[in-house]
Structure formats: C-alpha cells, structure tokens
Structure 1
Amino acid sequence: MKRLVVIIGIVLFVVFSYMALTNKFPSGYHADNPTAKEILKTNPRADILRLDGLVYSNASDREWIEAKEYTKGEMIGEVKKRTTKTWWYQNFYASQLPVGTKIYSGDEEGYQKGDAPGMVLVEYNNELLVYQALIEG
C-alpha cells in the first residue's frame, strides 16, 4: 500500500511538472493570456488561431483595422489543423481557417520563432485578414 502511494505521488508530480513547464494547465489555473479553451467556451464560433503560445482573433472587421493598409511580411507558417477541440490546442491550429492557410508577419514587424508579434496576417480567399494577439493587461 505504501509503495502504491509513493508511485501515485511520483506520477502526479511528473504530470503537474510537465503541465507547469509547458503552460498546459486547464483554464482557471492561471492568470495569463486567454486560452483557446476560454475563448471557444464563451463563443464556439470565434475565429481564432494559435501561434507561439498566443491566441489570435480575427480583427479584420474592426474600424481601426479597416482604416489602415496592410502588406504581408515574411511567411511564418501554415495552419496545420482546423479544430474547435481545445484540450491540446497547439501552435498553428485554427478554429475557422482551413489547413494550409498561410500566416504572415506584418510588413513592419519581423518574426522570430518564440517571439509572437502583436498581429499576423492571413491570406484567405484572395483577401488579407488581420489577426490580433489576445494579450492580458
């Protein structure tokens, strides 16, 4: 019995350590930026994508976005999966965009992996869409 308790304790320690290091705690266990789970729970039809651990929301229809002209910078990558299942919502997953949709940095902003820009551009149906990072604070 004592051995079982020790084994369970070790397993729980490893699981929680992994979750803490990869920021994969279920919503409600953190005070960071919004997660895909939180966003899709309140709005199942939200148009979001994830890049470098940040969730981006389609902001193309906002007035201040429409007032500016945007040009594509370097290609960051492509949508790998279209899903609204949020348990393991990974980078380059999107809720509305199809697989293969190209994601670009803005012309003014460069891109380095791990250093997510404030907004990204997506080319979809011959239209340039602006996705804004959802950042707390």
Structure 2
Amino acid sequence: MKKLKGVVLFLLLASLITGCFRSTKKTATPEAVLKTNTNADFFIMENTVYKNAEDVQWVKDIPLKKGNFLGKTNKTKVKRNFKNWNATSLDIGTEVYKLEGREDIVLAKKEDKYIPYIRYVEG
C-alpha cells in the first residue's frame, strides 16, 4: 500500500511539473525584434513578422521555388506602429510570394532575385 501511494504521488507530481513547462510558441512583436536589432530587415504579413533569412544556412540549402503571389509592401523604413505589409527595409511595392512546400518561409522579389523571409517566432 505504501508503494502504491508513492507511485501515485510521483505520477501526480510529474504531471504537475510537466504541465508547468508547457512549450508555447508565439509570434514575436515587431518592437521586440527591433529592440534586439535596430537594423533588422523584416516586414509584417497577417500580423506576423517575416525576417530576412538569406544568410540562414539551412534556408540556403533548400530549393527556393516561387509559389503564389501574396501581396506587396506598402510602407518602408517603419520603426513603430506596424501594420500588415509595412517593412523596415524592403522598398514600397516589393512583391511577396509563397515558397512552395513551406508555410514558414516567403519570398520577396528584389529586382530579378528572390530573398527568403522566415516567420519569426519567440520561444
């Protein structure tokens, strides 16, 4: 009986502890991104930060096949009060496309080149 109580107590404590460490990922705010890097290159789409990923090695290693058109940036050099399609560096009118096979990466068309931007999350 003593062993059973010990096992039940252990399971109860283990479930309580693991419940406290639940992993949640949420999108980062533009202000938080700028706080860590005042020169960060990103834009906002669907209330989510998409950060330049052209120097991220694993992104360089995947094929960048352009998918459907998503929209265009409408404001540049933004540093606060961000709205969808506002950008910190991209020119006004920069076209953004889906990356085929990925939900977390999009492509921004700069002249004749496509730059990957990755959804930026905290946690």
Question: Structure 2 length normalisation: TM-score?
Answer: 0.74
Question: 4+ runs of 1 displaced by more than 2 Å?
Answer: none
Q: 1:36 aligns with which of 11, 30, 48?
A: 30
1:21-60 to structure 2, matched below 5 A, reads 32-60=26-54
Give the greater-gyration-radius structure (CA).
2
1:81-92 to structure 2, matched below 5 A, reads 81-86=75-80, 88-92=81-85
Q: Structure 1 unaligned runs (5+)?
A: 1-30, 110-116
Q: Pairwise CA RMSD of aligned residues?
A: 1.6
Q: 1:102 aligns with which of 82, 90, 95?
A: 95
Q: Structure 2 unaligned runs (5+)?
A: 1-24
CA contact (8 A) 1:44 1:84 kept: no
- Aligned counterpart, 1:120: 106
Q: Deviations over 1:55-74 (max 9, x none)?
A: 01101111111112211111
Tell me the percent identity. Answer: 29
Question: Structure 1 length normalisation: TM-score?
Answer: 0.67
Instruction: Please state how far the C-alpha of 1:136 moved relative to its aligned partner.
Output: 2.8
- Quote the Cα distance in structure 1 between the aligned partners of 2:122 and 2:32: 13
